[in-house]
Amino acid sequence: MKKVNLICPVPQEQRPINEYKKVKDSVAFFWSTEDLRSYCQNILKVTFGSLFLTFFLVLASTNEGFNLYSAFLYSLIFTSLILIFICLRTYLGWKYIYDRLVQATVAYEESGWYDGQVWVKTPEILMQDKLAGTYKVLPLLNRLKNTLFIFSVISALSFFLLK
């Protein structure tokens, strides 16, 4: 590790592999790194919780002529939008990490925004970062893309059925 510190001028907290480790352990992104079963369970918990909440909010905010079918479709649209925003935020965070891992250069700041530098990764560090990006982050991005697609379709179908 001393050799890497000597050849890498990038501060520890700005190195892509350390950013990956930090994001992986953060509360906002941890749920997306779990195995497929836990991931789906978490998505379903949020889906049913927000569906329950939005259904009663839609019912409470409407007048007497509103039927349960329309209320359910509206709550399904709102729930889908909530999950789209959550997944999109998570996707963009992981995409940033992925881009930093697979790039051959690292943009960093030594002490502030005014002294930005660019460091070219050594072949060993580049290979390590690309492996982490390809085998750890890329599957998460694909999973999040699929989730975004599913909730986009649910939202569009609900909106179509509302007409």
Residue 112: its pLDDT value, please?
67
Mean pLDDT throughout 13-37?
93
pLDDT top residue among 162 and 155: 155
Mean pLDDT throughout 81-101?
97
Mean pLDDT throughout 13-39?
93
Residue 1: its pLDDT value, please?
46
Mean pLDDT throughout 91-95?
97
Residues 6+ apart with CB under 8 A from 24: 30, 33, 136
pLDDT top residue among 61 and 21: 21
Render pLDDT for 41-77 as a digit per residue (tens, 0 to 9): 999 999 999 999 999 898 888 776 678 888 899 999 9
Render pLDDT for 95-149 as a digit per residue (tens, 0 to 9): 999 999 999 999 888 776 667 888 999 999 999 999 999 999 999 999 999 999 9
Model pTM? 0.88
Cα 108 to Cα 10: distance, rounded to the nearest angstrom: 6
**pLDDT at 91 > cutoff 50:** yes
Over the range 130-142, which residues count as b (16 or more CB within 10 Å of their CB) and which as e?
eebbeebbeebbe
Mean pLDDT throughout 143-157?
97
**CA contacts within 13 A on the Cβ side of 147:** 27
Cα 72 to Cα 161: distance, rounded to the nearest angstrom: 11
User: Do the strands 116-120 and 105-109 form a parallel or antiparallel pair, or are they unpaired?
Assistant: antiparallel
Cα 96 to Cα 76: distance, rounded to the nearest angstrom: 30
Domain chopping of the chain, boundaries: 2-162
**pLDDT at 18 > cutoff 90:** yes
